[in-house]
Amino acid sequence: MTQAFWTFIALVSHWRRHPVNFGALFVGLAIATALWSGVQALNEHARASYDRAASIFGAGGARSIVPTRGGSVSQDLFVKLRLAGWKVSPVLEGTVRIHGKRFRLIGIEPVTLPREAGVAVVAGEGALGAFLKPPGRMIVTPETLRELSAAESVAIVIDGGKTLPPIEALAAALPGALVVDIGVAQAVLNRPEQISRLIFKEPPSAVAPPLATVAGDALRLVPPREEESDIRRLTESFHLNLTAFGLLACLVGFFIVHAAFGLAFEQRLAMVRTMRAVGVSARTLIVAMLGELALLALVAGSAGVGAGYLLAAALLPDMAASLDGLYGARVAGQLALDPMWWISGLGIAVIGSLVAAGGGLFKAFYLPVLMAAQPFAWRQVQQKFLWRRSVLGALGIAAFLVAHFYGKGLYAAFGMIAGLLLGAALLLPLLLDGVLRLGEKYASQPLAQWFWADCRQQLPGLSLALMALLLALSTNVGVGAMVEGFRKTFTQWLDERLVAEVYFEVAGNAETQQIEAWLEKRPEVSAILPMSKIKIRLGGWPVDIVGMKPHETYRNHFPMLSETGDAWGELQRGEGALVSEQLARRLDLALGSTLDVPAADGQWRVRIAGIFPDYGNPKGQLRIDIDRLMRLWPETPRMGYSLRTAPKAVPELIDALQTEFGQQISQISDQAAIKNLSMRIFERTFAVTAALNLLTLLVAGIALLANFLTLGNVRLAQLAPVWAVGVSRMRLAQLEFLRVLLLAAVTSAFALPLGLALAWQLVAVVNVQAFGWRLPFHVFPAQLGQTVALALLTAAAAAIWPIIRFVRITPAALAKVFANER
């Protein structure tokens, strides 16, 4: 024990004499942990929010009973069930509009509500009284309060004139929902005596009759699995993407740890030999090294987890906005994480650094005592490891190819990316060596010859940092190309799709005939294009069926991926349907194939006449003629209208519509506004990935800096002889700088094709697997140029300080290299 302790002290003393190296190692480890745990925090938080929002009634093992035919049923059934021994609690859910915005209103009965049901918002004696006693309370999250643009204790009036109870904001409330007493909900929603759900936790008493005996076929028990939220499933791929980037960034970070520990080990070889010579056993040495590593991982990991928390908190607003915009998923605005998250963050730091430094420890254990004394022998071992790495790299590429040709599904796609990136990274030193060998061959001047040979000699020490740079750069190129391609495609698509000048939605029970009659009398309106929408499930997937008029506006502008010769004719005759790319992939539909749609009265068979891109829509969409839709589902309300008019007439028309119909219409907007909104949503979606991207590059920069600093003293011994034979320090510094730029340039040249391959994987494979639609693949030369510039900049920034230190060094210090070979 004392042995291990003093060995540990000696090992750690190394860092006290090399604080900058230690700082780099520390920061690298902390950033890696921060990126990983930050992304995990975002994911965790979002998932927890979906679960809370969507399956609030399924939390803690609670079960639901819902009306078999949807909608609501009389609350008499609740009384009957209670009397029969079912410990159920009634719920009424509905939607209200406030200033044109939709909110989910949930009416509960707090006394019978199971505590585990997750609606623990009505806690405490006094609170319960206030909630139940008129005028009651409406419980919302602070974010929802902000969205309502209201203050606490204010009673909001909804569109339609009814008044809600005074607001109370609670952080633990349901994101995006307004929770009131069930009686209040029945009054506000105009559904007196109605309930839409019954929940229970305790199983019914043994003597209780089965559900069917009490309620006939009016109610059904929701199977536990169905409780899992649709939103959670729909957004799963978004989070998978995030996780993948988090992992990649984290990997880059652990490359640093690997490199830094390897270098530190090399630096401490003399020390290790001395310790072995004075009687430290190999085992004690390993224990001490492990202790050092674990301590570092714990301290830096803690810092990293803390930074991850801050990172997540900073990115959360963007993510919340993008999830809301993309999927209508509400995420609570305040980060709340359970202890497991902190522990797992630390775990990642410890395990990651053990794996990253494990190779060094392993080598330390098997390195013969005497061999440690001979740097040459060490180099040989290093060389062997380099070869082994190249073999691993080749294996990685092979794994990529296997996954490419035989793999299926999202995980195979990510496996493919991992294989490609790791394989390429591990092969990088070999490639660099080849390039430098070429340079050496064609150099004729002695200094140039030394330059190339020296670069090659530096390679083993720098290769890991360069690999990190390669990974960061190709991620940058890949994700950048994907985001840019997305933006470009999406803008074009919006231009085509939002070709009508005015669009508005109609409120629930609007007098649509009256609106249509009024519009027909307006001379400036050249076309009225109504739309209706119903929600169904096809193959277990949520699908919107949209009814539209096959007007020439659409014939000329509606973007299609492929269509039959007379797609719009087929649509008009009610024979054909247009299907979104996602749905076509999901259900394996091709042009001309048929689809059976469950309609109000039996199946409706329809032919696929066209496939259209529907970027970013997590649901499937089927577009059919609106008259056909109304015949199949007569109850369907109008959803909204697109109007064609002269652009100049837009503001006036919107004004007139608003004055005439006010409350009955909402979301009235012109094309430009919608386009803006959509673009904003997508910008935000990728704000998170862009931030991660940049941070990854930063990590790579730190890896390089750490490397240069760690190599500093060794480097001095290599430069001193060249200086001694008459090359000035300034000239040497210039060559150093050139060397760094050269290596970074070659690395980035390799990163470009790799990044494009990554981009292709993302748009053509991962995106299809995750979202169900494929993006066109674009190459953006300006972006590639920017990446190369960024690489050089990163490398230069990392190199500049060590080089300045070198220029400033006194000749005496350089000469000392000869006096004392330490």
Instruction: Kindly state whether residue 812 participates in binding another protein, applying the rule CB under 8 A.
Output: no
Q: Which two tokens stand for residue 298?
A: 């714990």
The verdict on 810 binding another protein (CB under 8 A) reads: no
**Judged by CB, which is closer to another protein: 111, or 278?**
278
Using CB under 8 A as the binding rule, whether residue 741 contacts another protein is answered as no
Long-range contacts at 399-402 (CB < 8 A, ≥ 24 apart): 399/423
Q: How far is the CB of 268 from another protein (least distance, A)?
A: 8
Contacts of 224 (CB under 8 A, 6+ apart): 58, 63
- Nearest to another protein of 275, 735 (CB atom): 275
Distance CA 179, CA 182 (A): 9
Q: Work out how close the CB of 765 gets to another protein at its nearest, in angstroms, rounded to a whole number.
A: 50
Binding to another protein by residue 283, rule CB under 8 A? yes
Pick from 242, 275, 525, 765 the residue near another protein by CB under 8 A: 275
In our burial notation (b when 16+ CB lie closer than 10 A, e otherwise), range 631-640 reads: ebbeebebbb
Does position 719 interact with another protein (CB under 8 A)? The reply is no
Q: 520: burial class by Cβ within 10 Å (0-12, 13-18, 19+)?
A: exposed
Cβ-based neighbours of 569, under 8 Å, separated by 6 or more: 550, 576
Q: Measured between alpha carbons, how far is 642 from 615 in angstroms, rounded to an integer?
A: 20
At residue 478's C-alpha, the angle toward residues 427 and 239, to 5°, is 110
Q: Is residue 296 close enough to count as binding another protein by CB under 8 A?
A: no
- Residue 804 CB, nearest approach to another protein (Å): 22
Q: Which of 120, 270, 430, 727 binds another protein (CB under 8 A)?
A: 270
Among residue numbers 6 through 65, which ones bind another protein (CB under 8 A)? 6-7, 9-10, 13-18
Q: Which residues contact 652 (CB under 8 A, 6 or more apart)?
A: 524
Give 13 or 163: the residue with its C-beta nearer to another protein.
Answer: 13
Taking the least distance from each CB to another protein, the nearer of 2 and 213 is 2
Q: Does 369 bind another protein (CB under 8 A)?
A: yes
Q: Using CB under 8 A, which of 155, 157, 277, 438 touches another protein?
A: 277
Instruction: Indicate the SS3 state at residue 173.
Output: coil
Closest CA to 246 of 39, 64, 8: 39
222, 65 contact by CB (below 8 A): yes
Residue 221 pairs in a beta bridge with: 65
Cβ(615)–Cβ(767) below 8 Å: no
Candidates 273, 404, 456, 675; binder of another protein (CB under 8 A) is: 273
Q: Cα-flanking dihedrals φ and ψ of residue 716, to 5°?
A: -55, -45
Q: Which amino acid is at 306?
A: G
The SS3 of residue 443 is coil
Q: How far is the CB of 20 from another protein (least distance, A)?
A: 14
Site track 201-220 with another protein (rule: CB under 8 A), x = hit: --------------------
Of 344-352, 367-375, 429-437, 528-536, the segment contacting another protein by CB under 8 A is: 367-375
Cα 692-36-24 angle, rounded to 5 deg: 85
Q: Which of 370, 646, 724, 804 binds another protein (CB under 8 A)?
A: 370
The yes or no reply on residue 354 touching another protein (CB under 8 A) is no
Minimum CB distance to another protein smaller for 2 or for 810: 2
Rule CB under 8 A: is residue 278 a binding residue for another protein?
yes
Shortest Å, Cβ 13 to another protein: 4
x/- map, 418-437, another protein, by CB under 8 A = --------------------
Per-residue CA distances from 331 to 43, 46, 541, 621 (Å): 11, 6, 23, 25
Q: Does 821 bind another protein (CB under 8 A)?
A: yes
101 forms beta bridges with: 98
Residue 466 CB, nearest distance to another protein (Å)?
A: 28
Minimum distance of another protein from residue 274's CB (angstroms): 6
Count of alpha carbons within 13 angstroms of residue 391, beta-carbon side: 6
> Cα–chain-centroid distance for residue 736?
39
Residue 296: count other Cβ atoms within 10 Å of its Cβ.
22
Contact call for residue 71 and another protein (CB under 8 A): no
Give 18 or 197: the residue with its C-beta nearer to another protein: 18
Report if residue 817 touches another protein, rule: CB under 8 A: no
Q: Does 374 bind another protein (CB under 8 A)?
A: no
Stretch that binds another protein, among 2-10, 57-65, 381-389, 680-688 (CB under 8 A): 2-10
| Residue selected from 161, 279, 339, 565 as contacting another protein according to rule CB under 8 A | 279
Residue with tokens 């689809």: 595
In DSSP terms, which residues pair with 595 in a beta bridge?
606
Nearer to another protein, 185 or 288 (CB): 288
* 714 is a contact residue toward another protein (CB under 8 A): no
Query: For binding to another protein (CB under 8 A), which residues are involved?
Result: 2-3, 6-7, 9-10, 13-18, 270-271, 273-284, 368-370, 373, 820-822
